[in-house]
Amino acid sequence: MHTTIKSPLCRTIADFVGDSLELSINAIEANAKLIVFAGVDFIVEQATMLNENAVVLHPNPQAKYPMAKMITVEDVRKARSMHPNAPVAMYVNSPAEVKAKSDLYKET
C-alpha cells in the first residue's frame, strides 16, 4: 500500500494507492497477513490497530506527518477538564494515543 504522495515507482508496485482513509479501509478489506506501507507513521499506526492479525511494516519509520503531532494526550485532558460534558472528536490523522482518549474521531 502506498500514499498518493510517494514516487511513481512505488505506485507501480503497490496493490493499493490512496489517502490515509482509503488505505486504512483497503488494509481491512485486503485481509492480508503482511502489509507494507510506503507512507507516514500515523497511517502505519492506524493499519496496525485495525489489523490485529497482520504484520504491518513501515520501510521508512522516519517518515512523519508533523500535523499529527500538534495535539497531545495532555491537550485532550486539559480540554476535558475545561469542558467536562463536551464530547471529544479527533481527526483520522491524529496519533493513536490521542484517538484512544477521544470519544470519536472523524475519518473524512
Domain residue limits, the chain: 2-57, 66-106
Please determine, for residue 108, whether its predicted confidence score (pLDDT) is greater than 50.
no
Rounded to whole angstroms, the Cα distance separating 14 from 18 reads 10
Q: Which pLDDT does position 72 carry in this prediction?
A: 93
Rounded to whole angstroms, the Cα distance separating 86 from 41 reads 29
- Give CATH superfamily name and number for 2-57: NadA-like (3.40.50.10800)
- The string of pLDDT tens digits covering residues 40-93 is 888 888 888 888 888 988 888 888 888 888 899 999 999 999 999 999 988 878
* Dmax (CA) of the chain: 49
Q: Which pLDDT does position 18 carry in this prediction?
A: 82
Q: Which pLDDT does position 85 carry in this prediction?
A: 92
Q: Which pLDDT does position 86 carry in this prediction?
A: 93
Contacts of 79 (CB under 8 A, 6+ apart): 86, 88
Chain-wide mean pLDDT for the chain? Answer: 82
Domain 2-57 matches domain 66-106 at the CATH topology level: yes
State pTM to two decimals: 0.67
- Inter-residue contact 12 to 19 (CB < 8 Å): no
Rounded to whole angstroms, the Cα distance separating 72 from 78 reads 10
Highest mean pLDDT among 3-7, 82-86, 101-105: 82-86
Q: Which pLDDT does position 62 carry in this prediction?
A: 87
Rounded to whole angstroms, the Cα distance separating 35 from 3 reads 13
Q: Which fold has domain 66-106?
A: Rossmann fold (3.40.50)
- Inter-residue contact 98 to 72 (CB < 8 Å): yes
Rounded to whole angstroms, the Cα distance separating 72 from 23 reads 24
